[in-house]
Amino acid sequence: MEAGQGKSLATLVANIEKLEITGSSDVTIQSLILDSRKVTTGSLFIALRGTQTDGHQFIATAVKAGATAILCEELPDQISSDVTYVKAADSAQVMGLIASTFYGNSSEKLTLVGVTGTNGKTSVATFLFQLFRNLGYRCGLLSTVQNQVEDEVIPSTHTTPDAIALNHLLATMLEKGCSHVFMEVSSHAVAQHRISGLHFAGGIFTNITHDHLDFHKTFDNYIKAKKGFFDQLPKSAFALVNVDDRRGSVMVQNTNARVETYSLQTLATYKGKMISDTLAGMHMEINMREVWFRVIGRFNAYNLLAVYGAAVLLGEDPEVVLTELSILKSPPGRFEQFHSADHIVGIVDYAHTPDALENVLQTITELRNGNEKVITVVGCGGNRDAEKRPKMAAIACKFSNRVILTSDNPRFEDPNDILAQMQKGVPPLDYKKTSVIEDRKEAIFTAYSEAGPGDIILIAGKGHENYQDIKGVKHHFDDKEILIEAFGNYPKS
């Protein structure tokens, strides 16, 4: 059965239980479509209950546009006699199963490893992708920064794509000869069943801290979403968890997978120890072997341990893995360093959660030799978890000599409202060292103008992003470009 080619509805729903089918299953489905505006003749339109609207409202539009079949949770009042209706308790979950079959169950033919956790998913998935390519495998990557099939870059719209795009990408990867695929599994993806129907060879848990409560509402729901990934792993898979995170053991409470652990603090299958950390590199001990890495920071020590563990669990030789890991570089916008002519260090980092910001600033604090100043430029995104705003400002103040609060992606919010919420987290004693410069470019330029030789400027929150999302329009904006432009202002007038 060829992936992505027209298939009979009967085949697509063959192994799915508890469906009520109205009309004939003996029809050919040419495409799976989530958005009524994209329906064409032969489509199966999937009606999902979303966060903004209910896809069920668009069933009639989809039928008018030529849909052959509809997957829904509730039948519309008006049934069309030449359309087949498939009624399921949960359209999103069934969509995953159907998408998997439509695209040839590619995940079963690939070695697919998923990474979940609040921070470190992109880093771990990208390191695994780079490592396995260096080991000689053809690989695919699904990440926040970009999707990749070997050297070919496919822009990503989400951390984890929807089930249709996801299964389509996996089929492309298989077609192009990939044997291994490394992907991020976001909590949204688990909650919305974007990964339902996928066959994983392994799952990795990095950590869980405050984020996305706008979507999950409670921390408990957020934990449950992440745990849902491990609950659905098969017996043949491994579940590799960071046991230094106290939720690590919760994640694997009900998993059928083989549980393995990694840690910098306690006994674990993969045990690491930091020996030293400098701007030039990190020295670690991993399972009694000493290694130097190019990437730095305690958070990366965790990421490298996870990658090492996963590679060994996938059958790779530990010595070879460590040698290959030692030369890896951080993914774009993850602790990326820039050096000015007047010896100022600029670090562009995607820290957009309180925990990530604290880790990055903690790492910078540990890297300081003496009296260098740390200047932090940071903002928070609009239409996202508002609770993290004052927390991130407080963390920036705690670890920096100077803080410039600025705009991130305001989306549909007023950036000044976001900044006012951030300011609530600034302790009164830190008012003097904190200022608000809404214009992000001006904020970065100001940071450089105030810095002296040896000082470190951290620009946090946007990392690899090359846009600023203002009222739904993405304007070109790249922290790295602006930093380099600012560094070009040397000598300072």
Ligand X SMILES: Nc1ncnc2c1ncn2[C@@H]1O[C@H](COP(=O)(O)OP(=O)(O)OP(=O)(O)O)[C@@H](O)[C@H]1O
Taking CB under 6 A as the binding criterion, the range among 10-18, 34-42, 296-304, 435-443 that sits at the site for ligand UAG is 34-42
Least spacing, CB of residue 175 vs ligand X, in Å: 26
Under the binding rule (CB under 6 A), the answer on residue 50 touching ligand UAG is yes
Q: How far is the CB of 184 from Mg ion (least distance, A)?
A: 5
Kindly write down the DSSP assignment for every residue of 134-150, as one continuous string.
Answer: HTT--EEEE-SS-EEET
53: partner contacted, choices ligand X, ligand API, ligand UAG, none (Cβ within 5-8 A by kind): ligand UAG
Asked if 160 touches ligand X (CB under 6 A), the answer is no
Of ligand UAG, ligand API, Mg ion, none, which one sits near residue 37, judging by CB under 5 to 8 A according to partner kind? ligand UAG
CB of 333 to ligand API, least distance (A): 10
Q: Does 469 bind ligand UAG (CB under 6 A)?
A: no
Cα–Cα distance measured from residue 118 to residue 105, given in angstroms and rounded to the nearest whole number: 28
In angstroms, the CA 465 to CA 446 distance is: 21
Rounded Cα gap, residues 5 and 1, in angstroms: 8
Nearest to 422 by CA among 394, 450, 456: 394
352 binds ligand API (CB under 6 A): yes
Cis omega (within 30 of 0) on the bond before 491?
yes
Cβ-based nearer residue to ligand API, 279 or 386 = 386
Closest distance between ligand X and the C-beta of residue 485, in Å? 22
Point out which residues pair with 86 in neighbouring strands: 21, 71
In this chain, which of 17, 18, 26, 51 binds ligand UAG, going by CB under 6 A? 51
Considering the rule CB under 6 A, would residue 124 count as an interface residue with ligand UAG?
A: no
For residue 449, count other CB atoms closer than 10 A to its CB.
Answer: 11
* Rounded-to-integer distance, Cα 254 and Cα 450, Å: 53
Half-sphere exposure of 50 (CA within 13 A, CB side): 12
- CA-based end-to-end distance of the chain: 68
Full DSSP string of 91-138? HHHHHHHHHHHHTTTHHHHSEEEEEESSSSHHHHHHHHHHHHHHTT--
Q: Quick check: 140 and 149 in contact, CB under 8 A? A: yes
CB of 432 to ligand UAG, least distance (A): 34
CB 268 to ligand UAG: min, Å:
25
Residue choice 84, 130, 340, 359 for contact with ligand X (CB under 6 A): 359
Q: Is 384 annotated as a binding residue?
A: yes
| Of residues 183 and 344, the one with the C-beta less far from ligand X | 183
Distance CA 293, CA 327 (A): 6
Q: Is residue 120 a contact residue for ligand API (CB under 6 A)?
A: no
68 interacts with, out of ligand X, ligand API, Mg ion, none, CB within 5 to 8 A per kind? none
- Is residue 67 left, alpha or beta, with left meaning phi > 0 and alpha meaning psi from -120 to 50? beta
123 is in an annotated binding site: yes
- 8 Å CB contact between 129 and 151: no
Q: Give me the residue label for tokens 């049934």.
A: 79
Q: Which residues, at least 6 apart from 75, have a Cβ–Cβ distance to it below 8 Å?
A: 22, 85, 87
Is residue 48 involved in binding ligand UAG (CB under 6 A)?
yes
Three-class secondary structure of residue 21 per DSSP: strand
Taking CB under 6 A as the criterion, the residue among 118, 159, 187, 196 binding ligand API is 159
Q: What is the DSSP letter of 1?
A: -
**Residues 209-248: x/- map of binding to ligand UAG (CB under 6 A)?**
------x---------------------------------
Q: Which residues bind ligand X (CB under 6 A)?
A: 117, 119-123, 144, 159, 184, 206-207, 299, 302-303, 334, 349-351, 355-356, 359-360, 463
Residues belonging to the binding site for meso-2,6-diaminopimelate are 384, 408-411, 461, 465
Residues belonging to the binding site are 34, 36, 117-123, 159-160, 186, 192, 194, 384, 408-411, 461, 465
Q: Which residues bind ligand UAG (CB under 6 A)?
A: 34-37, 48, 50-53, 55, 58, 158-160, 162, 186, 188-189, 215
